[in-house]
Chains A and B, each alone.
Chain A
């Protein structure tokens, strides 16, 4: 993408196209780390739906996988999981 130099080259309002990690590796912001216990997971995909950062992907069998490079550790997935299969652990632990 060409970076504008003057007003005339700028858009009316800032617009950005979808790109992975436009704010950098936001996973470094994390204090708590979600850890999935796959033995409890029912593959309901609720965590995938609720993740506000789209940092959870669905595998072929619908089981979730967390992308720790971008997961900020907000804990919404752990809160929403109906079978308590996601635990939040302190990063340094």
Chain B
């Protein structure tokens, strides 16, 4: 039977791992680890979850253990945050290259130095090119639902890639919200047992990820790119089916809000996408035609969806909780790259906001929108990258 649980996104992620019938969880238990794995340890200890819980000495080892477990053919989960994810970096490539559908929760926290424990996307976006699918959530319910959806997607034979389910530290990780934990039988029907693409088996030994000469390496890379394209097609389908079954749907790759007649679309990720809805409602009351497009999946990037948006609107303003030093926010770059070949391109402005956990409220977003509207009236973007609320 379905039940409503009021809890933090971290604990809800634990509920989702249990509901997904994960068989192996490998995790480093100390900072920057979060209560995601504490909840799971509790479930395993009290017998509610039939899983092997492996405590390891580092995040690099956590991912290595997940790779081994997934290669042995079982559903595998881990969670980390910030510098823990950075330490995993090398192993992330091995997981995607071995085409293992590991799902990992990343509690987004800013990278040091200077040391910070507050949220931004610099940890997970630094892992952009590791071949992992990346989801970004806006509330605790979406965290639960996305973890279930992610297993279904990653274990599809057309995909066979790992995924990160990202949620912002504190804003979601420590905030209590009511979440519907769906009926277990319904979840089992949506998410059948994992069938691996290849399996390590002591009775039929083989080696994986062995040396590949220049004659073959490119083809293996191309297959990952193909799998990403397949994921782009499958994510909206899975989201739709999930919505029909459970009543929660998130727009697939991108969640649009009041974009139909919008002259300005605010494009952002995570909780800023939820906050922007409030800003849009307020701005609409003032007569400003503004909408929000929340990029829910950053890899694969929803290029076609951005193009569709660009056809309907006069300006796209990106808000990045991240900076690619020496360039701009990733979202700004990706949006501009997506629309380059269009004939009539909208204006694009990039705003950097909320780094290291600085609050991005609906008021912040309203002022960003108003500034963008001014540039739209003038017909040109006066500053390509603007840092919001900077002490200048």
Contacts and interface: CB of A to CB of B under 8 A. Distances in A.
Chain B contact-residue range equals: 10 to 19
Contact of A12 (B197, B205, B222): B197
Contacts of B220: 10, 13-14
A17 B209 CA distance: 12
A16 B206 contact: yes
A15 interface: yes
A20 to B, nearest CB: 13
B31 interface: no
Interface in A1-37: 7, 10-18, 23
A91 B211 CA distance: 28
A18 B206 contact: yes
Interface string B202-233: 00011111111000100110110000000000
B210 A14 contact: yes
Chain A contact-residue range equals: 10 to 19
Given A15-B206, A16-B207, A18-B205, A10 B198 contact: no
B296 interface: no
A74 B99 CA distance: 33
B222 A7 contact: yes
Given A7-B223, A11-B198, A17 B206 contact: yes
Contacts of A16: 206-207, 210
Nearest to B205: A18
Interface in B88-130: 97-99
A88 B98 CA distance: 38
B197 A10 contact: no
A14 B198 CA distance: 10
A7 B221 CA distance: 11
A13 B219 contact: no
Interface of A: 7, 10-18, 23
Interface of B: 97-99, 160, 197-198, 205-212, 216, 219-220, 222-223
Given A10-B216, A11-B198, 15 more contacts: A7-B222, A7-B223, A10-B219, A12-B198, A12-B223, A13-B97, A13-B99, A13-B198, A13-B209, A14-B216, A14-B220, A15-B206, A15-B208, A15-B210, A17-B205
